[in-house]
Amino acid sequence: MDKKLFKNILFIIAYSVLLVAVIINIEWIIGAAGWFLGLLSPIFIGFSVAFVLNRPYMFFFRLYTTPLKKKSGKKNKKPEKERSDKSKRRILNLKKALALLTVYILFLAVIALLLWLVIPEFSGSVTQIASNFDEYGKNLNKILTDVEEWLPFDFSLSTPTTEETETENLLAVESVPLSDFLSQKTSEFFESLPETISGLIPNLFDFTKSVASSIINGLLGFVMSVYMLASKESLITQLKKIFNAFVPKKFADRTYEVLGISNEMFSNFLLGRLLEASIVGLLCFIGMTIFGFQYTLLISVVVGVTNIIPFFGPFIGAIPSIFLLLVVDPMQAVWFTVFIIVLQQIDGNLIGPKIVGDSMGMPAWWVMVAILIGGGLMGIPGMLIGVPMFAVIYKLLSKTVAIRLQKKNLALKEAEKQDG
For the chain, the structural domain boundaries read 3-34, 40-75+84-150+180-246
Measured CA to CA in angstroms, residue 405 lies from 66, 401, 409, 416 at distances of 46, 6, 6, 16
Burial of 221 (0-12, 13-18, 19+ CB in 10 A): buried
pLDDT at 179 > cutoff 60: no
Phi then psi dihedrals of residue 161, to 5 deg: -130, 165
Phi then psi dihedrals of residue 137, to 5 deg: -65, -40
What is the pLDDT averaged over residues 137-143?
65
Residues 6+ away with beta carbon under 8 Å from 176: 156, 157, 158, 159, 184
Confidence of residue 410 (pLDDT cuts 50, 70, 90): confident
Buried b (16+ CB within 10 A) or exposed e, 378-410: eeeebbbebbbbbbbbbbeeeeeeeeeeeeeee
Name the residue among 352, 351, 384 with its Cα closest to residue 367: 384
- pLDDT of 171: 43
- pLDDT of 353: 66
Dist. CA 279–CA 273, nearest whole Å: 10
- Residue type for position 272: G
Measured CA to CA in angstroms, residue 373 lies from 311, 317, 360, 396, 397 at distances of 14, 20, 17, 19, 18
Confidence of residue 105 (pLDDT cuts 50, 70, 90): very high
Dist. CA 333–CA 140, nearest whole Å: 13
Which tens digits make up the pLDDT trace of 259-299? 888 888 888 888 888 888 888 888 988 998 898 888 888 88
Confidence of residue 165 (pLDDT cuts 50, 70, 90): very low
Residue 357: left if φ>0, alpha if ψ -120 to 50, beta else—which one?
A: left
CB neighbours of residue 288 within 10 Å: 25
Q: Which range (105-114, 316-325, 363-372) has the least confidence?
A: 363-372
Residues 6+ away with beta carbon under 8 Å from 140: 182, 326, 327
Confidence of residue 392 (pLDDT cuts 50, 70, 90): confident
